[in-house]
Structure 1
Amino acid sequence: MASLLPPPYTPPRSFLFPRRNASAAPPAYPPGYIPGGLFAKYANDPREKRNRSLSLRSKKGGATDGQSGRRFGFGSMRASTQPELSKKLYRLIKSENHVISNYTNAGREQISIASQLSDWGLSTNDDAISDISDKIGVMLSELGELDITYAQNLEDFRTVLKSVRNVEASVQPSRDKRAKITDEIQRLKYREPQSPKLVLLEQELVRAEAENLVAEAQLSNVTRQKLKEAYASHFAAVVERSQKQEILAKHARRLLSLLDDTPVVPGDSRPTYDLERDSRQILADAEEDLRNWTLELEEVPTNAQLDAGAMPSSASSGGGAHSPVAETHPQQTTLHGAGGEVEAPKPELVV
């Protein structure tokens, strides 16, 4: 019999999630829901005890509407007080915060919808629909947890970008000082060409240029290192979320195959549904696949070996060659992304 179900598709993304008020409490989980869900602690930890309910039925109570107040305050005015050099990155980091809030809200809304689906299935008084809707609700709940975890990973990525923004802000005064002295010299040359103050200003300009040269080198080193580190982590989180979503979606489709949708005529009764054990096994298979999942990515090489002053360390300054193969050059480390180690010291800038 030909299948009447539509082919798999990717629903359009929605960017209309309400923004969360930073001063307000985050949207609540459904009453009785324990954050983490069925597979919350499967993260490759064989020591983790797994004694979980395979149903959402035990979670009673209404669902949250996910609505939150619009963001007000002086936060939007802070960009105007930022140094010119760091304004654009400040706005980018601020926008990323909105993205994180949206993913968090979307994940919690998904968990609420999963609970509503389970409750609706129970109200149909159809054993097959009740069981399948409940198990699909478990899968949808885990998809919501993935969005929340993804938002947390984005926060880590955003924190790395903040370090670049802070360095940019610290470099701006040295640029301003150099520009101010240069302008003063030009003004004196125009008004008082023989002023003895010109010699002092030119000496001060030399010192300011030397100071700015160091600051610019620090900024360049930190920017390249942190940009690479931040987006290596960001895209690793994207891969992790998408691969785990794929695992859950495939097993959820297996659940749908257990539902007999053969039409009946009035007066006929459907066969008794006796596939509860099969549906529970599908959930167990999904949990097992997530537990055994590992992040396998092509490594992102890095040669960033900086000392406390954001300058090349002695280990990296000795060799001039750079190769994308980490094994060839001991001074080269690898950015593993989410959950990985990044061997890069936090510089303390001297500007």
Structure 2
Amino acid sequence: MHRTYSMRQSRAPTASQIQNPPPPSSSTKASRMFGKTSIGHSLRKSVHPGAFGPELSKKLAQLVKMEKNVMRSMELVGRERMEVAQQLSIWGEACDDDVSDVTDKLGVLIYEIGELEDQFVDRYDQYRVTIKSIRNIEASVQPSRDRKQKITDQIAQLKYKEPQSPKIVVLEQELVRAEAESLVAEAQLSNITREKLKAAFTYQFDALREHSEKMAIIAGYGKHLLELVDDTPVTPGETRNAYDGYEASKAIIQDCEDALTNWVEQNAKVQSKLSTRTRTLSQRRRARGHEEGVDLSGQDQGMDNRQSWIPASEHHGGQEYEDDDDEVDHDDDNKERGREEERVAA
């Protein structure tokens, strides 16, 4: 029997991809030459992620690095699911006809889950790089805070040591200018933080919804496949009925492919409905004097325009500062690849 490991031999765009074009490949994939997880990934877990960079952005820098580790773990899960799918099909090849056919088709479904994991990582990266842009803005605001604090300290020191010093007047004028610059920077930070926070988690939640719904679709068709296995107990020497489910198993796989291909967010089965009490509580005034409140009852909407996908390399929210977030772990990947080859050979 021909063993298949992928559901679709030719990857035509799905309805969801046509409606919302997919994002660029994840920055974690682009920064590594080889497969498998890297030793650098493990080392980063043991190093405090926010140890470097401007003080203001350290906490968010820690979050960004932790999310990068999460993404690399998800990449590994996706690859290993594909390997599991292949091994399941290989094992079933030597079994009875019904088990052989069903495990082959189950391998197809599990392989598809691995590919969905890979697609999910790309969408998850859009969340991460958007959060990262907030970190960059925070880093750009830090110098204005430092300058204002430095001038304030100089004035205090002069007033203590030389109360009549003419430098005090000059420094106070500089302080006024520094405070004005700081106000602009802080306002920009406040505005961009809110904008990017909402965009980032909309990316994540939209990706989670699509991923979860498609996983549920695969799980449902997987259970249909299991019905083709005859689990009626037999006595020693008794022969089972000949298996005639080949066409049925192919049809189930085709139905699953059609369901995944035609899935769009508007047809999502799971909907988050707000209770009457929650709808009432969600009515909030954005600012004093506004006639209308903020109705959250329509919040369960995805981002309609995926033309806004931005490659991580171009996703700047302010002045980028140097850190080890985007280092390429080629040496570590080489070492890990060698270990993996030794493990397989053993």
| TM more than 0.5 | yes
The answer to whether the aligner puts 1:177 opposite 2:147 as a matched pair is yes
- The aligned runs of 1:95-244 (5 Å cut-off) are 95-124=66-95, 126-244=96-214
Change (3 A) 1:74 1:98: closer
* Structure 1 residue 152: Cα displacement: 1.1
Change (3 A) 1:162 1:321: farther
Tell me how far apart the structure 2 counterparts of residues 343 and 148 of structure 1 sit (CA, whole Å). Answer: 17
Equivalent in the alignment of 1:93:
64
* Structure 1 residue 109: Cα displacement: 0.3
Fraction of identical pairs, as percent: 42
- The aligned runs of 1:305-320 (5 Å cut-off) are none
Change (3 A) 1:45 1:38: farther
TM-score, with length taken from structure 1: 0.70
- The aligned runs of 1:252-267 (5 Å cut-off) are 252-267=222-237
* Structure 1 residue 144: Cα displacement: 1.0
Change (3 A) 1:169 1:198: same
Larger relative contact order, structure 1 or 2 (CA cutoff 8 Å, min sep 6): 2
* Structure 1 residue 340: Cα displacement: 3.4
Tell me how far apart the structure 2 counterparts of residues 108 and 343 of structure 1 sit (CA, whole Å). Answer: 25
Q: Deviations over 1:57-79 (max 9, x none)?
A: xxxxxxxx956535477995774
Tell me how far apart the structure 2 counterparts of residues 235 and 148 of structure 1 sit (CA, whole Å). Answer: 16
Name whichever structure is richer in helix by fraction: 2
* Structure 1 residue 147: Cα displacement: 1.1
Equivalent in the alignment of 2:53:
82
TM-score, with length taken from structure 2: 0.70
| Contact 2:134–2:317 (8 Å) recurs in 1 | no
| Contact 1:139–1:248 (8 Å) recurs in 2 | yes
Equivalent in the alignment of 2:281:
none
Tell me how far apart the structure 1 counterparts of residues 201 and 85 of structure 2 sit (CA, whole Å). Answer: 32
Tell me how far apart the structure 2 counterparts of residues 129 and 72 of structure 1 sit (CA, whole Å). Answer: 39
The answer to whether the aligner puts 1:273 opposite 2:243 as a matched pair is yes
Tell me how far apart the structure 2 counterparts of residues 98 and 193 of structure 1 sit (CA, whole Å). Answer: 54
The one-letter amino acid of 2:302's match is H
Tell me how far apart the structure 1 counterparts of residues 216 and 11 of structure 2 sit (CA, whole Å). Answer: 16
Q: Deviations over 1:287-344 (max 9, x none)?
A: 1111110013789xxxxxxxxxxxxxxxxxxx97776579xxxxxx997348635699
Change (3 A) 1:73 1:349: closer
The runs of 5 or more residues in structure 1 that have no matched partner are 1-31, 48-64, 300-318, 327-332
The one-letter amino acid of 2:108's match is V
The answer to whether the aligner puts 1:287 opposite 2:253 as a matched pair is no
Tell me how far apart the structure 2 counterparts of residues 73 and 247 of structure 1 sit (CA, whole Å). Answer: 37
Q: Deviations over 1:174-224 (max 9, x none)?
A: 000000000000000000000000000000000000000000000000000
The runs of 5 or more residues in structure 2 that have no matched partner are 19-34, 273-288, 320-346
Q: Secondary structure at the match of 1:81?
A: coil
The one-letter amino acid of 1:336's match is G
